[in-house]
Structure 1
Amino acid sequence: MKKQTAGRDNLGDFAPKFAELNDDVLFGEVWSREDKLSARDRSLITCAALMAQGAFPQLKSHMIMGKKNGITKDEMAELITHLAFYCGWPKAWSAFDLAKEIFTD
């Protein structure tokens, strides 16, 4: 997995400890445990959690990452459709707007 630097790139000067935890612990230690759960599966789980919360700016970033980790357009559409019944129809519409932007070639 590519070394994550988003925390340091975006918050390193403002919140260096948070940036360190984001890059080194969350992505460096947790996401790198691919012998326990693949990056693709972690991306699916993360997208589901972010959609459920309505955290759409973060969802967009994780959809991009998920596409790089092998999630297909059809899989993302199925994830959003399934979650519409558990998280809410408006959240599904918002998630589909992001997915169309990211997964349309």
Structure 2
Amino acid sequence: MEAAGHPLRVSDDTGTVIDYSLPESAITSGVESTCYTPFQPIDIAWQIQNAYSSAASVQVRECLESAGIQPAGTVEDEHAQLVDAGLDEACFANPPEVVDP
């Protein structure tokens, strides 16, 4: 991507799951497809394997805990808990300590 003139924008590389985006020009030029296609299976496997440690997953657990809900222990179950409690929008709109169930 970088060699083609479309470097990735890394917003957080401190955790196991790296948060990044790419410029629109990479998509419209077709470079994204060329560069990402061979990497996609590896990326998907890594994200699935490490989903529990992602920033979003940590935020979901913190949000559940701040609402007095014990997190279920899996990404899927914790997301379901968040939705069932009606906290999904509030959790990501406000820091977890501000959420009022």
TM-score over 0.5 (shorter chain): no
User: Structure 2 length normalisation: TM-score?
Assistant: 0.27
Task: Return the structure number with greater strand share.
Answer: 2
Task: Return the structure number with greater helix share.
Answer: 1
